[in-house]
Structure 1
């Protein structure tokens, strides 16, 4: 029981690190640098706020690391419940980590290109950020997919409240659908965002449960005794 609770707390800490670094890198930093469709402003932002851009790259690198660690520790937490489903969490999470890493390579190169200030630097920097944005959008498929087995295992294991499991499954479906909507109906950004809200609520609930409660005593005893 103690080992399961310890694993749950470490998983929660890694998940919290993923959430914080993701918010800082994607929502805070990138939104202040990247201006879709405007190469001159994007390049000017990168040059004028080079320190912020470098901080954003570090935040993205931390996201890559914490996403990978969280995926592995979720596998360790849920492996006794269902090895295949637990492995699916790890697989989808690790693929998402690689996707974020590739996007970080694009944004890091965009900064170097902008600072170089060659004649075509602005256009090249914008293109690299566009690639970063496309990778982030498509990576949402795997982020949604990793929530599906996570939610199923949360309910099946008894480690977490069943409504949390249902919310995570619904959030995973919503995240996958948001990617489809974003590319089929690019003017429906509000709908795409709304589809990701259940996932956000479910993830915050999961982080809080892992850190505060860990797992329920009855469920951890049941797992330990087979």
Structure 2
């Protein structure tokens, strides 16, 4: 195992862990305090008024989503480097799925911005048009989350099979990925999705928060300590 390879892996793990931590904080702010806090899907007029009254806050939410888009690409690179010894092709596929999700989030953020522009010009455009843009953000993001779910499934499978991380973590991460995929597809395909939305939101939230926080801790451990024997063997074999 080369010193360069080990140092690169530690740097990648630390970079991904720090980025994960930032994404958690930014996502809570952008999604819950800004998007959900200001947007009422059942009341376009009040939503447009809320965005006008809180334009500065809404713009900060847009900035947060934009930074998340960048950081997710950084995380994709970090996990690719860390997990590459467990399977180069699978690690690369997982990275591409996360990047695909990041691109969809960026597109969704454009719709969010257009919704804000409609809100700021109430005399020229109808509130329903603004709400259509805001709903387009949700749909676009939901489609992107299917790619994100595939990313988590692949990462979870690699963790479980390789033994680089606790196998339970791999199982929970894969389960979170499947939950993302199921929730996104159900939102698109079911007419009465609202009837099960609360159950799906709770299931996705619990699995994703637990698994991804655990991945963040695992990455910090890799960045700060010597690699476990199993991971060291895999890394050594990949550099032979």
TM-score (norm 1): 0.92
Shift in CA distance, 157/8, structure 1 to aligned 2, threshold 3 Å: farther
In the TM superposition, residue 69 of structure 1 has moved relative to its aligned partner by 1.1
Q: In the alignment, which of 33, 40, 54 is matched to residue 38 of structure 2? A: 33
Q: How does 1:125-140 map to 2 (within 5 A)?
A: 125-140=130-145
Matched with 1:222 is 233
In the TM superposition, residue 80 of structure 1 has moved relative to its aligned partner by 2.5
Shift in CA distance, 67/46, structure 1 to aligned 2, threshold 3 Å: same
Report the Cα distance in structure 1 between the residues aligned to 2:126 and 2:214, rounded to whole angstroms. Answer: 43
Secondary structure of the corresponding residue to residue 159 of structure 1: coil
In the TM superposition, residue 14 of structure 1 has moved relative to its aligned partner by 1.8
Q: Does residue 14 in structure 1 map to residue 25 in structure 2?
A: no
In the TM superposition, residue 63 of structure 1 has moved relative to its aligned partner by 0.9
Runs (4+) off by over 6 Å = none
- After TM superposition, the structure 1 stretch with the greater mean CA deviation from structure 2, 191-200 or 167-176, is 191-200
What 5-or-longer segments of structure 2 have no aligned partner? 1-5
CA-based RMSD of the aligned residues comes to 1.7
Matched with 2:216 is 207
- After TM superposition, the structure 1 stretch with the greater mean CA deviation from structure 2, 92-101 or 71-80, is 71-80
Report the Cα distance in structure 2 between the residues aligned to 1:141 and 1:224, rounded to whole angstroms. Answer: 30
Q: Would the aligned equivalents of 1:177 and 1:195 in 2 still touch at CA under 8 Å?
A: no
In the TM superposition, residue 81 of structure 1 has moved relative to its aligned partner by 1.9
Report the Cα distance in structure 2 between the residues aligned to 1:90 and 1:193, rounded to whole angstroms. Answer: 25
Matched with 1:152 is 157
Q: Does residue 163 in structure 1 map to residue 172 in structure 2?
A: no
- After TM superposition, the structure 1 stretch with the greater mean CA deviation from structure 2, 207-216 or 37-46, is 207-216
TM-score (norm 2): 0.87
Q: Would the aligned equivalents of 1:71 and 1:90 in 2 still touch at CA under 8 Å?
A: yes
Q: Does residue 65 in structure 1 map to residue 92 in structure 2?
A: no
Q: How many residues are paired up?
A: 226
Matched with 2:3 is none
Matched with 1:81 is 86
In the TM superposition, residue 78 of structure 1 has moved relative to its aligned partner by 1.5
- After TM superposition, the structure 1 stretch with the greater mean CA deviation from structure 2, 208-217 or 154-163, is 208-217
